[in-house]
Protein backbone atom coordinates (compact mmCIF):
# COMPACT_ATOMS: atom_id res chain seq x y z
CA UNK A 1 0.00 0.00 0.00
CA UNK A 2 1.58 3.28 -1.13
CA UNK A 3 1.16 5.83 1.65
CA UNK A 4 1.82 9.47 0.92
CA UNK A 5 3.14 11.43 3.90
CA UNK A 6 3.20 15.16 4.62
CA UNK A 7 5.94 15.64 7.19
CA UNK A 8 7.70 18.99 7.61
CA UNK A 9 9.30 20.93 10.45
CA UNK A 10 7.68 24.07 9.02
CA UNK A 11 4.50 23.28 10.98
CA UNK A 12 6.42 23.86 14.20
CA UNK A 13 6.59 27.56 13.29
CA UNK A 14 2.97 28.07 14.31
CA UNK A 15 3.77 29.42 17.78
CA UNK A 16 1.35 29.40 20.71
CA UNK A 17 1.66 31.05 24.14
CA UNK A 18 3.70 29.19 26.78
CA UNK A 19 1.76 26.35 28.33
CA UNK A 20 -0.75 26.07 25.49
CA UNK A 21 -1.63 22.41 24.76
CA UNK A 22 -1.56 22.86 20.96
CA UNK A 23 2.20 23.30 20.86
CA UNK A 24 4.90 22.73 18.29
CA UNK A 25 6.17 19.69 20.17
CA UNK A 26 3.08 17.81 18.99
CA UNK A 27 4.13 17.50 15.35
CA UNK A 28 7.75 17.06 16.39
CA UNK A 29 6.84 14.08 18.58
CA UNK A 30 4.85 12.49 15.76
CA UNK A 31 7.58 13.14 13.19
CA UNK A 32 10.26 11.68 15.44
CA UNK A 33 8.19 8.55 16.01
CA UNK A 34 7.43 8.00 12.33
CA UNK A 35 11.11 8.44 11.49
CA UNK A 36 12.42 6.24 14.33
CA UNK A 37 9.91 3.48 13.55
CA UNK A 38 10.95 3.42 9.90
CA UNK A 39 7.43 4.27 8.72
CA UNK A 40 8.53 7.58 7.23
CA UNK A 41 11.10 5.81 5.05
CA UNK A 42 8.41 3.41 3.82
CA UNK A 43 6.15 6.30 2.79
CA UNK A 44 6.18 8.54 -0.25
CA UNK A 45 6.81 12.20 0.59
CA UNK A 46 4.14 14.70 -0.46
CA UNK A 47 5.45 18.23 -0.77
CA UNK A 48 3.65 20.85 1.27
CA UNK A 49 2.09 23.69 -0.69
CA UNK A 50 0.14 26.87 0.01
CA UNK A 51 -3.62 26.81 -0.37
CA UNK A 52 -5.04 29.20 -2.95
CA UNK A 53 -7.57 31.89 -2.18
CA UNK A 54 -10.06 30.21 -4.48
CA UNK A 55 -9.73 26.97 -2.53
CA UNK A 56 -10.20 28.73 0.82
CA UNK A 57 -13.24 30.65 -0.41
CA UNK A 58 -15.06 27.43 -1.24
CA UNK A 59 -15.37 27.00 2.56
CA UNK A 60 -14.53 30.28 4.26
CA UNK A 61 -15.94 33.77 3.83
CA UNK A 62 -13.99 36.80 2.64
CA UNK A 63 -14.63 38.35 6.06
CA UNK A 64 -12.99 35.42 7.81
CA UNK A 65 -9.90 35.53 5.60
CA UNK A 66 -9.65 39.31 5.99
CA UNK A 67 -9.72 38.96 9.78
CA UNK A 68 -6.90 36.40 9.78
CA UNK A 69 -4.87 38.51 7.36
CA UNK A 70 -5.33 41.57 9.56
CA UNK A 71 -4.06 39.74 12.63
CA UNK A 72 -1.13 38.42 10.61
CA UNK A 73 -0.18 41.94 9.49
CA UNK A 74 -0.18 43.00 13.14
CA UNK A 75 2.35 40.28 13.92
CA UNK A 76 -0.13 37.88 15.49
CA UNK A 77 -2.56 38.10 18.36
CA UNK A 78 -5.27 36.49 20.43
CA UNK A 79 -8.52 35.51 18.66
CA UNK A 80 -10.29 34.03 21.68
CA UNK A 81 -9.11 32.53 25.00
CA UNK A 82 -8.13 29.28 23.24
CA UNK A 83 -7.03 30.44 19.80
CA UNK A 84 -3.89 32.42 19.07
CA UNK A 85 -1.87 33.47 16.03
CA UNK A 86 1.87 33.93 16.13
CA UNK A 87 3.82 35.84 13.51
CA UNK A 88 4.05 32.75 11.25
CA UNK A 89 0.64 31.23 11.97
CA UNK A 90 -1.20 32.50 8.90
CA UNK A 91 1.22 31.15 6.27
CA UNK A 92 1.52 27.89 8.22
CA UNK A 93 -2.27 27.48 8.40
CA UNK A 94 -2.41 28.06 4.64
CA UNK A 95 0.37 25.49 4.24
CA UNK A 96 -1.62 22.93 6.25
CA UNK A 97 -4.74 23.49 4.13
CA UNK A 98 -2.77 23.47 0.89
CA UNK A 99 -1.04 20.26 1.90
CA UNK A 100 -4.45 18.66 2.46
CA UNK A 101 -5.44 19.68 -1.07
CA UNK A 102 -2.15 18.35 -2.47
CA UNK A 103 -2.51 15.03 -0.66
CA UNK A 104 -6.12 14.65 -1.79
CA UNK A 105 -5.09 15.25 -5.39
CA UNK A 106 -2.25 12.71 -5.12
CA UNK A 107 -4.65 10.05 -3.85
CA UNK A 108 -7.44 10.95 -6.29
CA UNK A 109 -5.04 10.78 -9.22
CA UNK A 110 -3.49 7.46 -8.15
CA UNK A 111 0.00 8.74 -7.33
CA UNK A 112 -0.41 7.17 -3.88
CA UNK A 113 -3.14 4.96 -2.42
CA UNK A 114 -3.63 6.80 0.86
CA UNK A 115 -2.09 9.73 2.68
CA UNK A 116 -1.42 10.97 6.20
CA UNK A 117 -0.67 14.58 7.11
CA UNK A 118 1.32 15.59 10.19
CA UNK A 119 0.12 19.19 10.18
CA UNK A 120 -0.92 21.94 12.53
CA UNK A 121 -2.82 24.04 13.40
CA UNK A 122 -5.74 21.60 13.50
CA UNK A 123 -8.82 22.61 11.54
CA UNK A 124 -12.15 20.95 12.31
CA UNK A 125 -13.43 23.70 14.64
CA UNK A 126 -12.88 26.51 12.11
CA UNK A 127 -16.28 27.50 10.72
CA UNK A 128 -16.83 29.37 7.47
CA UNK A 129 -16.79 32.64 9.44
CA UNK A 130 -14.85 32.00 12.63
CA UNK A 131 -11.52 30.74 13.94
CA UNK A 132 -11.90 28.87 17.22
CA UNK A 133 -10.78 25.87 19.26
CA UNK A 134 -7.11 26.20 18.17
CA UNK A 135 -8.25 26.15 14.50
CA UNK A 136 -7.79 28.86 11.84
CA UNK A 137 -8.67 27.15 8.54
CA UNK A 138 -10.71 23.98 8.13
CA UNK A 139 -8.18 21.98 6.14
CA UNK A 140 -10.19 18.78 5.75
CA UNK A 141 -13.25 20.72 4.52
CA UNK A 142 -11.18 22.73 2.05
CA UNK A 143 -9.65 19.53 0.62
CA UNK A 144 -13.01 17.75 0.43
CA UNK A 145 -14.67 20.65 -1.36
CA UNK A 146 -11.73 20.90 -3.76
CA UNK A 147 -12.17 17.29 -4.87
CA UNK A 148 -15.89 17.84 -5.43
CA UNK A 149 -15.42 21.16 -7.23
CA UNK A 150 -12.82 19.73 -9.60
CA UNK A 151 -14.75 16.55 -10.39
CA UNK A 152 -12.32 14.22 -8.62
CA UNK A 153 -15.06 12.92 -6.33
CA UNK A 154 -18.86 12.78 -6.34
CA UNK A 155 -19.56 11.96 -2.70
CA UNK A 156 -17.06 12.36 0.12
CA UNK A 157 -17.14 10.89 3.62
CA UNK A 158 -15.39 12.62 6.52
CA UNK A 159 -14.89 10.43 9.61
CA UNK A 160 -13.98 12.45 12.71
CA UNK A 161 -12.95 10.58 15.86
CA UNK A 162 -11.42 13.56 17.67
CA UNK A 163 -12.93 13.74 21.17
CA UNK A 164 -14.27 17.22 20.40
CA UNK A 165 -17.09 17.67 17.90
CA UNK A 166 -15.99 19.11 14.56
CA UNK A 167 -18.51 21.94 14.52
CA UNK A 168 -16.75 23.74 11.68
CA UNK A 169 -16.86 20.71 9.41
CA UNK A 170 -20.51 20.12 10.22
CA UNK A 171 -21.41 23.74 9.50
CA UNK A 172 -19.52 23.76 6.21
CA UNK A 173 -21.58 20.84 4.86
CA UNK A 174 -24.86 21.31 6.75
CA UNK A 175 -26.90 21.50 3.54
CA UNK A 176 -24.56 19.62 1.20
CA UNK A 177 -25.72 16.15 0.07
CA UNK A 178 -22.32 15.42 -1.49
CA UNK A 179 -20.52 15.24 1.88
CA UNK A 180 -21.32 12.71 4.60
CA UNK A 181 -19.97 13.56 8.05
CA UNK A 182 -19.62 11.13 10.96
CA UNK A 183 -18.38 12.44 14.30
CA UNK A 184 -17.96 10.54 17.53
CA UNK A 185 -17.20 12.87 20.44
CA UNK A 186 -17.54 13.42 24.15
CA UNK A 187 -20.72 15.15 25.29
CA UNK A 188 -20.94 17.54 27.03
CA UNK A 189 -17.64 19.12 26.01
CA UNK A 190 -16.33 21.99 23.91
CA UNK A 191 -17.67 23.29 21.52
CA UNK A 192 -21.15 22.29 22.70
CA UNK A 193 -22.44 21.08 19.33
CA UNK A 194 -22.94 17.60 17.92
CA UNK A 195 -26.24 16.41 19.34
CA UNK A 196 -27.77 13.33 17.76
CA UNK A 197 -30.63 15.37 16.34
CA UNK A 198 -28.18 17.51 14.34
CA UNK A 199 -28.42 15.61 11.04
CA UNK A 200 -28.21 18.30 8.35
CA UNK A 201 -30.78 20.45 6.61
CA UNK A 202 -32.39 20.81 3.20
CA UNK A 203 -30.71 18.58 0.64
CA UNK A 204 -28.14 17.71 3.29
CA UNK A 205 -30.72 16.27 5.68
CA UNK A 206 -29.61 12.83 6.86
CA UNK A 207 -25.97 13.15 5.77
CA UNK A 208 -24.62 14.12 9.21
CA UNK A 209 -24.23 11.43 11.88
CA UNK A 210 -23.36 12.66 15.37
CA UNK A 211 -22.40 9.99 17.91
CA UNK A 212 -22.03 11.79 21.27
CA UNK A 213 -21.01 9.82 24.36
CA UNK A 214 -20.64 11.03 27.97
CA UNK A 215 -17.41 11.04 29.98
CA UNK A 216 -16.03 7.65 30.96
CA UNK A 217 -18.10 5.77 28.39
CA UNK A 218 -16.97 2.18 27.97
CA UNK A 219 -14.64 2.33 24.94
CA UNK A 220 -16.29 -0.62 23.20
CA UNK A 221 -19.58 1.31 23.02
CA UNK A 222 -17.85 4.12 21.13
CA UNK A 223 -16.08 1.77 18.73
CA UNK A 224 -19.15 -0.36 18.09
CA UNK A 225 -21.42 2.59 17.33
CA UNK A 226 -18.84 3.98 14.92
CA UNK A 227 -18.67 0.58 13.20
CA UNK A 228 -22.45 0.35 12.90
CA UNK A 229 -22.67 3.88 11.51
CA UNK A 230 -19.97 3.19 8.93
CA UNK A 231 -21.87 0.08 7.83
CA UNK A 232 -25.06 2.16 7.50
CA UNK A 233 -23.28 4.79 5.41
CA UNK A 234 -21.72 2.09 3.23
CA UNK A 235 -25.17 0.76 2.44
CA UNK A 236 -27.14 4.00 2.05
CA UNK A 237 -24.66 6.80 1.20
CA UNK A 238 -21.58 5.11 -0.28
CA UNK A 239 -18.70 7.57 -0.78
CA UNK A 240 -16.06 7.46 -3.47
CA UNK A 241 -13.45 9.23 -1.32
CA UNK A 242 -12.82 9.18 2.43
CA UNK A 243 -11.17 11.67 4.77
CA UNK A 244 -10.30 11.10 8.43
CA UNK A 245 -10.04 13.86 11.01
CA UNK A 246 -7.67 11.89 13.20
CA UNK A 247 -7.79 13.29 16.72
CA UNK A 248 -6.29 11.15 19.47
CA UNK A 249 -7.43 13.24 22.44
CA UNK A 250 -10.03 10.62 23.40
CA UNK A 251 -7.21 8.54 24.87
CA UNK A 252 -7.49 7.85 28.58
CA UNK A 253 -4.24 9.77 29.27
CA UNK A 254 -5.13 12.92 27.34
CA UNK A 255 -5.45 16.03 29.56
CA UNK A 256 -8.30 17.76 27.71
CA UNK A 257 -11.13 15.23 27.92
CA UNK A 258 -12.60 12.33 29.90
CA UNK A 259 -12.83 9.35 27.58
CA UNK A 260 -10.96 6.09 28.17
CA UNK A 261 -9.92 4.98 24.69
CA UNK A 262 -6.57 3.31 24.15
CA UNK A 263 -4.39 2.71 21.10
CA UNK A 264 -6.33 -0.41 20.15
CA UNK A 265 -9.61 1.49 20.02
CA UNK A 266 -8.19 3.99 17.54
CA UNK A 267 -6.81 1.09 15.50
CA UNK A 268 -10.27 -0.47 15.43
CA UNK A 269 -11.94 2.73 14.22
CA UNK A 270 -9.23 3.17 11.60
CA UNK A 271 -9.68 -0.40 10.35
CA UNK A 272 -13.44 -0.02 10.14
CA UNK A 273 -13.09 3.22 8.19
CA UNK A 274 -10.62 1.58 5.81
CA UNK A 275 -12.99 -1.34 5.30
CA UNK A 276 -15.66 1.06 4.09
CA UNK A 277 -13.17 2.90 1.90
CA UNK A 278 -12.01 -0.37 0.35
CA UNK A 279 -15.61 -1.33 -0.35
CA UNK A 280 -16.90 1.83 -2.02
CA UNK A 281 -14.03 4.28 -2.57
CA UNK A 282 -11.29 2.15 -4.08
CA UNK A 283 -9.43 2.41 -0.77
CA UNK A 284 -8.85 6.14 -1.26
CA UNK A 285 -8.26 7.76 2.14
CA UNK A 286 -6.61 10.97 3.32
CA UNK A 287 -6.10 11.32 7.08
CA UNK A 288 -5.21 14.59 8.80
CA UNK A 289 -3.90 15.02 12.33
CA UNK A 290 -6.34 16.94 14.53
CA UNK A 291 -6.15 16.77 18.36
CA UNK A 292 -4.05 14.80 20.84
CA UNK A 293 -2.14 16.58 23.60
CA UNK A 294 -0.18 14.00 25.57
CA UNK A 295 2.98 13.73 23.50
CA UNK A 296 3.83 10.08 24.22
CA UNK A 297 0.26 8.96 23.65
CA UNK A 298 0.02 11.03 20.49
CA UNK A 299 3.15 9.37 19.11
CA UNK A 300 1.87 5.89 20.02
CA UNK A 301 -1.57 6.44 18.50
CA UNK A 302 -0.25 8.04 15.35
CA UNK A 303 2.25 5.26 14.73
CA UNK A 304 -0.52 2.67 15.07
CA UNK A 305 -2.84 4.70 12.83
CA UNK A 306 -0.21 5.01 10.12
CA UNK A 307 0.60 1.29 10.28
CA UNK A 308 -3.08 0.59 9.56
CA UNK A 309 -3.14 3.06 6.68
CA UNK A 310 -0.17 1.21 5.16
CA UNK A 311 -1.82 -2.23 5.28
CA UNK A 312 -3.17 -3.71 2.04
Question: Digits of tens for pLDDT over the chain (312 positions)?
Answer: 899 999 999 999 999 999 999 999 999 999 999 999 999 999 999 999 999 999 999 999 999 999 999 999 999 999 999 999 999 999 999 999 999 999 999 999 999 999 999 999 999 999 999 999 999 999 999 999 999 999 999 999 999 999 999 999 999 999 999 999 999 999 999 999 999 999 999 999 999 999 999 999 999 999 999 999 999 999 999 999 999 999 999 999 999 999 999 999 999 999 999 999 999 999 999 999 999 999 999 999 999 999 999 998
H/E run at residue 1: none
The residues, ordered by sequence, that sit 6+ positions from 124 with a Cβ below 8 Å of its Cβ are 135, 138, 140, 141, 160, 162, 164, 166, 167, 168, 169, 245, 247, 290
Neighbours of 110 (CB within 10 A): 10
Cis status of the peptide bond prior to 191, with omega within 30 of 0: yes
Number of domains in the chain: 1
Please tell me the distance from the alpha carbon of residue 261 to that of residue 248, in angstroms, as a whole number: 9
pLDDT at 312: 82
125 is catalytic: yes
The CATH number for 289's domain is 3.40.800.20
Q: Which domain holds residue 103?
A: 3-309
| CA-closest candidate to residue 108, choices 197, 195, 29, 46 | 46
Q: For residue 111, what pLDDT is reported?
A: 98
Largest CA distance in the chain: 50
pTM over cut 0.75: yes
Candidate list 14, 60, 72, 125, residue with the active-site label: 125
Amino acid sequence: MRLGLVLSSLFERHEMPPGHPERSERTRAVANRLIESGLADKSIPIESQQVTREQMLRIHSERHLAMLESIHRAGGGQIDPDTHMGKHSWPIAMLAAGSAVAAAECVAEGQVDRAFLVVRPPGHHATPDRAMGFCLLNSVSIAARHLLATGRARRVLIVDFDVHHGNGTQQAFWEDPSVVYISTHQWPLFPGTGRREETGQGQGQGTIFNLPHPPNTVPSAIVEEMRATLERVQETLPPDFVFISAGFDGHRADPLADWRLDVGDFVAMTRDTLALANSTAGGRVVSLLEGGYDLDVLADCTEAHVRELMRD
